[in-house]
Amino acid sequence: MVILLEWAKYIIYLVIYKDKRIDKNFVFIIPFYFFALLSHQNSAIIGSLAIFGLFLIKNFKEKIIIIISVLTTLLATSFWWIDYVKNFSKTTSATIIVGNTLATINKATFNDNLVAFIVPLIFFIILY
């Protein structure tokens, strides 16, 4: 459920700011991105790609605001992710291959496979 809320926040930000000028309210993405980086790294990676897509379509001034927001979040979470990156090979996360669950469809992986199909489809419909 929490991961779906993460996706919803990124989709809302994309839809709102895709055609709208980035203003001072864009900094409210910092807490969402902050907690996503700390609690749901997979969602944060996908969210980073969504923010990067927004970065690509904006003008120079708006790109600076996006960069400042992302850097602020990265600096605020650096207490956690610097050690995490340094010791990543020693964690169980290094042994998990996320793509393997997409090759088999059973009761345990059905939701992952469904979301892996539906989310890109939703992004395609919303953004094009």
pLDDT value at position 96? 67
- pLDDT tens-digit map of 69-107: 899 999 999 998 888 888 878 877 667 666 676 677 777
* Size of the chain, expressed as the number of residues it contains: 128
Average pLDDT rounded to a whole number, residues 108-117: 77
- Per-residue pLDDT of 19-46, as tens digits, reads 888 888 888 888 878 888 888 777 777 7
Residue 109 φ/ψ, nearest 5 degrees? -110, 5
Domain coordinates in residue numbering, the chain: 2-95, 97-128
In sign, the C-alpha dihedral spanning 28, 16, 68, 6 is positive
Q: How confident is the model at residue 109 (pLDDT cuts 50, 70, 90)?
A: confident
- pLDDT level of residue 127 (50, 70, 90 thresholds): low
CA dihedral 40, 8, 12, 15 (to 10 degrees): 100
Q: What is the mean pLDDT of residues 51-75?
A: 90
**Does the pLDDT of residue 64 top 90, yes or no?**
yes
Instruction: Tokens 């496979």: give the residue.
Output: 113
Lowest mean pLDDT among 6-15, 43-52, 55-64, 115-124: 6-15
Global model pTM greater than 0.85: no
Specify the pLDDT at position 41: 77
Closest CA to 38 of 12, 74, 87: 74
